[in-house]
């Protein structure tokens, strides 16, 4: 049976993501991985789920190292000296959610083959370990300081004033301290752990970051940093109070990091091809695919417009803390607003259409036919349909989780972008009917 999605398993705690399910994953994991590091974010159900998972891992014969409340990149980094890592988190989902994500020693999340292996083990009747070989659990409180040292050894000084919005999550235990050690004056928001997320919803989208924006402006800070609930994501606010989301930061990192190859999903800007030519590797939409491709191609950097950044020099896990430190280091040389204003930008238009989920297969077949009839030489099927034109591109894809068709268009001029979008919409409307 399929239990895992591209981001592990996530659902409403005790309804979709049950203790039984969590225990069975842990039991199956223990039969294959004997030395496991376990951590969690600050969600209210985290301790209960972690206890059940620890019990099942030990009962399956695994040794458990419990690192407590940490960010996802910290847990992934702590996996480097173990067989695997288990993180109990629901990332940026609302407070009633929880979930599990599994990690390899190189910081990559479990790939499809590994998840399928766990799924097939879950469907089998697994035997508990003999009483003499049940595992034990040790507590380790050094995971955060080790991750911090790893970041600081790769980063320079910066004497900036930075506001950090920790989303009431475990970012509060690491990001402000990393930036302080770099030489920054740090002011924190939502820096107490609270799984109810009283400060703001844990997704770092623009509408959730008005407090951060106000703080940056009123304190005249150089920039603001915002994380999601488990800090694998990072976005920013510039010194003028403008939101610097994933689209902007992807371009900024790609230009400023001095890398020669970049991995990005099919919906990210074509500027990357202008800059890196053949050394841009496109993936399906989702951070796990970006990380997989970075590993596969040996690329130097991978990014996703959702705000996830992969720096293989530290780990294959998207690391919001390392990304924050890198951004601050970059901003020590030039103001973030100036950096952003100097970035080229092509108009990008987005549109979402709803469709009847029961017609999904028919709609896909219709799209295939309609797009084939356009006679384009380049249609990329990495994720949905990505159509390349002389002066732009369009992506039509059906969401994997909702009955929504998303259209993204980018072109060198607004007129052309509008023209392509109109064409794509007319095709899409015919197909969903
Ligand atoms: Mg996350």
- What does pTM read for this prediction? 0.94
Active site (catalytic) residues:
91
pLDDT beyond 90 at 378: no
The burial class, CB within 10 Å (0-12 / 13-18 / 19+), for 396 is: buried
103: tokens are: 């990690």
C-alpha 415 – ligand 1 centre gap (Å): 36
C-alpha 265 – ligand 1 centre gap (Å): 17
Integer CA distances (angstroms), 131 to 58, 60, 61, 121, 134, in order: 11, 10, 9, 21, 6
**Each residue of 302-318: pLDDT tens digit?**
999 999 999 999 999 99
Q: How far apart are CA 221 and CA 238, in angstroms?
A: 9
The H helix count followed by the E strand count for the chain is: 14, 20
**Each residue of 101-120: pLDDT tens digit?**
999 999 999 998 999 999 99
| Reported confidence tier of residue 415, pLDDT bands at 50, 70, 90 | very high
Cβ atoms of 107 and 147 closer than 8 Å: no
**Cα atoms found within 13 Å of the Cα of residue 149, Cβ hemisphere only:** 6
Bridge-partner residues for 353, per DSSP?
405
DSSP conformation class of 293? H
Q: Residue 154 has what pLDDT?
A: 97
409: tokens are: 């268009």
Residues 6 or more apart in contact with residue 270 via CB below 8 angstroms: 346, 392, 393, 410
pLDDT beyond 80 at 125: no
Q: How far apart are CA 345 and CA 414, in angstroms?
A: 11
Bridge-partner residues for 388, per DSSP?
393
pLDDT beyond 80 at 405: yes
Q: Residue 432 has what pLDDT?
A: 84
- The mean pLDDT of 138-148, rounded to a whole number, is 97
The burial class, CB within 10 Å (0-12 / 13-18 / 19+), for 429 is: exposed
Q: How far apart are CA 163 and CA 351, in angstroms?
A: 33
Q: How far apart are CA 184 and CA 328, in angstroms?
A: 9
pLDDT beyond 90 at 396: yes
Integer CA distances (angstroms), 178 to 153, 154, 250, 328, in order: 11, 12, 22, 11
C-alpha 69 – ligand 1 centre gap (Å): 14
Cβ atoms of 249 and 327 closer than 8 Å: yes
C-alpha 93 – ligand 1 centre gap (Å): 8
Q: Residue 150 has what pLDDT?
A: 98
C-alpha 73 – ligand 1 centre gap (Å): 9
**Each residue of 162-196: pLDDT tens digit?**
999 999 999 999 999 999 999 999 999 999 999 99
pLDDT beyond 90 at 399: no
pLDDT beyond 80 at 6: no
- The mean pLDDT of 255-261, rounded to a whole number, is 96
The domains located in the chain, with CATH, are 9-141 (3.40.120.10), 145-341 (3.40.120.10), 348-432 (3.30.310.50)
C-alpha 366 – ligand 1 centre gap (Å): 35
**Each residue of 194-211: pLDDT tens digit?**
999 999 999 999 999 999
Q: Residue 308 has what pLDDT?
A: 96
Q: Residue 400 has what pLDDT?
A: 72
């Amino acid at each position: 049976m399929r239990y895992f999605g591209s981001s592990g398993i996530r659902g409403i705690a005790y309804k979709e993501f049950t203790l039984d399910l969590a225990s069975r994953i842990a039991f199956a994991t223990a039969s294959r991985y004997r030395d496991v590091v376990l951590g969690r974010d600050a969600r209210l159900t985290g301790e209960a789920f972690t206890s059940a998972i620890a019990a099942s891992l030990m009962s399956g014969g695994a040794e458990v190292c419990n690192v407590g409340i940490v960010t996802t990149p910290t847990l992934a980094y702590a996996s480097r000296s173990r067989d695997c890592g288990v993180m109990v988190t629901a990332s940026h989902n609302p407070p009633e959610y929880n979930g599990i994500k599994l990690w390899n020693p190189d910081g990559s999340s479990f790939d499809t083959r590994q998840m399928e292996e766990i799924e097939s083990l879950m469907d089998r009747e697994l035997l508990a370990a003999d009483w003499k070989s049940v595992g034990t659990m040790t507590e380790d409180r050094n995971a955060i300081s080790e991750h911090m040292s790893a970041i600081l050894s790769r980063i320079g000084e910066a004497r900036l004033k930075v506001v950090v919005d920790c989303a009431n999550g475990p970012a509060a235990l690491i990001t402000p301290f990393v930036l302080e050690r770099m030489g920054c004056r740090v002011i924190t928001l939502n820096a107490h752990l609270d799984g109810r997320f009283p400060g703001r919803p844990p997704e770092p989208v623009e509408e959730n970051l008005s407090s951060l924006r106000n703080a940056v402006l009123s304190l005249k800070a150089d920039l603001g940093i915002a994380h999601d609930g488990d800090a694998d994501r990072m976005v920013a606010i510039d010194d003028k109070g403008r939101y610097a989301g994933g689209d902007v930061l992807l371009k900024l990192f790609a230009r400023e990091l001095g890398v020669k190859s970049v991995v990005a999903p099919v919906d990210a800007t074509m500027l990357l091809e202008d800059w890196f030519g053949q050394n841009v590797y496109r993936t399906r939409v989702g951070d796990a695919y970006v990380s997989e491709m970075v590993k596969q191609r040996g690329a130097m950097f991978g990014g996703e417009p959702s705000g996830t950044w992969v720096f293989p020099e530290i780990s294959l896990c998207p690391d919001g803390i390392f990304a924050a430190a890198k951004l601050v280091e970059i901003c020590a040389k030039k103001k973030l607003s100036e950096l952003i204003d100097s970035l080229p930008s092509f108009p990008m238009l987005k549109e979402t259409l709803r469709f009847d989920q029961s017609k999904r297969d028919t709609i896909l077949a219709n799209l295939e036919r309609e797009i084939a009839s356009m006679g384009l030489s380049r249609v990329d099927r990495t994720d949905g349909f990505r159509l390349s034109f002389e002066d732009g591109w369009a992506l039509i894809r059906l969401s994997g989780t909702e009955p929504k068709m998303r259209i993204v268009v980018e072109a060198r001029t607004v007129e052309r972008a509008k023209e392509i979008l109109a064409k794509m919409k007319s095709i899409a409307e015919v197909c969903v009917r």
